[in-house]
């Protein structure tokens, strides 16, 4: 099944919109995108690809933006967003890679920002990055490194705790594992 809009030769390409209905006394409709399962030996399940358009102009072409966001909660918590790889029932689970693309011969590579939101009357959200525990093997390692420079200084690594205007500033703690 193919759903798409037509190409434009001297104008803007057509838009495609897929939406589900809202609910006034119950939950809004669900939108589900899923690729097909494969039961054949040595064959993978179907792929699902979501990508923004290329900007192919050689003078001012800019790639399209891709935005994934969960719903806003007007009086209670906003919607959760979960990005997870597939489990391996008898093998390794799938990998997740988050990275910006390499820069061309001019410019710098894209910035990666991991931050929780601000709060006007309470605590801000926590960011937790860690490897999983192992029950019969070695726990996963974590590595934070900055890049080297062949014609300039190497990258800077800064670890700092937050300041407070009414209480003690945050602490920075480094602890080795128990033996």
- Residues 68-108 have pLDDT tens digits of 888 888 888 888 888 888 888 888 888 888 888 888 888 88
Counting Cα atoms < 13 Å in the Cβ hemisphere of 131 gives 10
pLDDT at 179 over 80: no
CB 125 within 8 A of CB 114: no
CB-based contacts of 82: which residues, under 8 Å, 6+ apart? Answer: none
CA 22 – CA 28 distance, rounded (Å) = 4
Q: Name the pLDDT band for 18 (thresholds 50, 70, 90).
A: confident
pLDDT digits (tens, 9 = 90+) for 142-169: 888 888 888 888 888 898 998 888 889 9
Tell me what pLDDT residue 28 has. 87
Q: Name the pLDDT band for 17 (thresholds 50, 70, 90).
A: confident
CA 113 – CA 117 distance, rounded (Å) = 12
CB 55 within 8 A of CB 65: no
CA 72 – CA 80 distance, rounded (Å) = 10
Q: Name the pLDDT band for 19 (thresholds 50, 70, 90).
A: confident
Tell me what pLDDT residue 147 has. 85
Reported pTM: 0.67
pLDDT digits (tens, 9 = 90+) for 20-65: 888 888 888 888 888 888 999 989 999 888 888 888 888 888 888 8
CB 126 within 8 A of CB 116: yes
Tell me what pLDDT residue 168 has. 92
- In the chain, what percentage of residues exceed pLDDT 90? 3
CA dihedral (145, 104, 113, 150) positive or negative: positive
Give mean pLDDT, residues 117-127. 86
């Amino acid at each position: 099944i193919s759903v798409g809009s037509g190409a434009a030769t001297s104008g803007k390409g057509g838009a495609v919109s897929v939406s589900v209905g809202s609910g006034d006394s119950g939950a809004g409709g669900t939108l589900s995108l899923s690729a097909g399962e494969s039961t054949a030996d040595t064959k993978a399940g179907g792929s699902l690809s979501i990508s923004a358009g290329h900007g192919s102009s050689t003078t001012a072409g800019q790639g399209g933006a891709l935005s994934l966001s969960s719903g806003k909660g007007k009086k209670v918590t906003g919607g959760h967003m979960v990005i997870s790889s597939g489990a391996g029932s008898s093998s390794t689970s799938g990998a997740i890679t988050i990275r910006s693309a390499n820069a061309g011969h001019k410019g710098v590579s894209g910035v990666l920002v991991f931050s929780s939101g601000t709060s006007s009357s309470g605590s801000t959200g926590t960011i937790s990055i860690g490897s999983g525990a192992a029950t019969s093997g070695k726990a996963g390692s974590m590595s934070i490194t900055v890049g080297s420079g062949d014609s300039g200084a190497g990258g800077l690594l800064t670890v700092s705790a937050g300041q407070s205007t009414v209480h003690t500033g945050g602490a920075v703690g480094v602890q080795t594992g128990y033996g």
